[in-house]
């Protein structure tokens, strides 16, 4: 009975979402008839421009460029965020780097783009990586600091990535860092020559409004795919954690049964 109710609510959710999307598109189409195409193009025009970007081979390479930059920046942010968060959990770390970290965390991630571009000069990719690293490391470090649960023995030193990312609060900070890094990266790509951000600004400069809308939809799809990938990874880590606990419990139970047999044995003699 409960399984049937679950399937009913799942189907109802899908149906509601589909109806809402159809109604939204119909309203959009109706409003676009009564407005300028430079303000609100019709959904069909945006769909045609999105198809043209895909079929011409322009969109996919720019998506690959942006996602590859994001992956490198997020991988760099992992050790930075873990290290800073672990250090800030102790009073000595707060005394040493607490104030600078607070100042850095208050700066919008997009503000680091011009500074890193000037600092690294012609190394454009490095400036993108730095922007993503700063944007993604700060939420991760804050999540570690705000996680009130204590560390287990050796957790903060021996295996921080495997054990700490099984904490929901820490993983939520990492998820927020990835999405923040993605937003900062797109802004940093404005006028840089490649990436989805560059494609967005170049379309805006040419007054191709429908193409701008199409790229915004593409950015939303990429962001949704990133969130789905992170949720899948969190599920995999949770399964691994439960499997590890099951393997740890099983030897303990068998060991206690063996000791019970040893203690009970002489009584039967």
pLDDT in tens, 214-243: 999 999 999 889 888 888 887 776 655 555
CA nearest neighbour of 176 among 168, 186, 188: 168
- Report the alpha-carbon angle 86-234-87, nearest 5: 5
CB atoms within 10 A of CB 259: 10
Quote helix, strand, coil % in the chain, to nearest 5.
Answer: 85, 0, 15
Q: What is the pLDDT of residue 153?
A: 45
- Each residue of 62-108: pLDDT tens digit? 999 999 999 999 999 888 888 888 888 888 877 888 888 888 888 88
Other CB atoms within 10 A of residue 204 CB: 14
Tell me how far apart the alpha carbons of residues 180 and 222 are, in angstroms, rounded to a whole number: 13
DSSP state of 248: H
The pTM score is: 0.74
Helix or strand or coil: residue 144? Answer: helix
List the domain boundaries for the chain: 77-241
Under DSSP, is residue 40 helix (H, G, I), strand (E, B) or coil? coil
Closest by CA to 43, choosing from 196, 221, 218, 213, is 213
CA angle 9, 13, 18 (to 5 degrees): 150
Write the CA distances from 198 to 28, 75, 115, 192, integer angstroms: 27, 23, 18, 6
Mean pLDDT, consecutive 10-residue stretches, the chain (269 aa), reads 61 80 84 78 86 88 92 90 84 81 81 74 78 89 74 47 64 85 88 84 86 90 88 73 50 47 47
Q: Answer for the pair 114, 131: CB distance below 8 angstroms, yes or no.
A: no
CA dihedral in degrees (99, 105, 108, 110; nearest 10)? Answer: 110
């Amino acid at each position: 009975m409960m399984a049937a109710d679950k399937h009913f609510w799942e189907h109802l959710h899908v149906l509601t979402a589909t109806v809402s999307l159809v109604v939204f598109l119909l309203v959009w189409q109706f409003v676009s008839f009564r407005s300028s195409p430079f303000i609100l193009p019709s959904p069909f025009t945006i769909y045609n421009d999105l198809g043209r970007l895909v079929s011409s081979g322009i969109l996919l390479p720019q998506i690959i460029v942006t996602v590859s930059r994001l992956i490198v920046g997020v991988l760099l942010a992992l050790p930075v965020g873990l290290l800073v968060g672990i250090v800030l959990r102790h009073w000595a770390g707060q005394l040493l780097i607490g104030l600078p970290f607070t100042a850095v965390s208050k700066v919008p991630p997009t503000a680091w783009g011009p500074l890193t571009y000037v600092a690294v000069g012609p190394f454009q990719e490095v400036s993108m990586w730095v922007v993503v690293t700063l944007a993604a490391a700060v939420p991760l470090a804050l999540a570690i600091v705000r996680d009130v649960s204590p560390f287990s023995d050796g957790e903060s030193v021996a295996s921080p990535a495997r054990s700490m990312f099984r904490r929901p609060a820490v993983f939520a900070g990492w998820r927020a860092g990835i999405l923040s890094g993605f937003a900062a990266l797109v802004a940093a790509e404005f006028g840089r020559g490649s990436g989805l951000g560059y494609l967005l600004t170049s379309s805006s400069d040419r007054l191709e409004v429908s193409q701008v809308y199409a790229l915004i939809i593409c950015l939303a799809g990429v962001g949704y795919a990133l969130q789905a990938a992170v949720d899948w990874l969190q599920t995999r880590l949770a399964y691994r954690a439960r499997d590890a606990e099951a393997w740890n419990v099983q030897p303990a139970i068998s060991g206690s049964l063996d000791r019970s047999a040893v203690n009970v044995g002489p009584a039967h003699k």
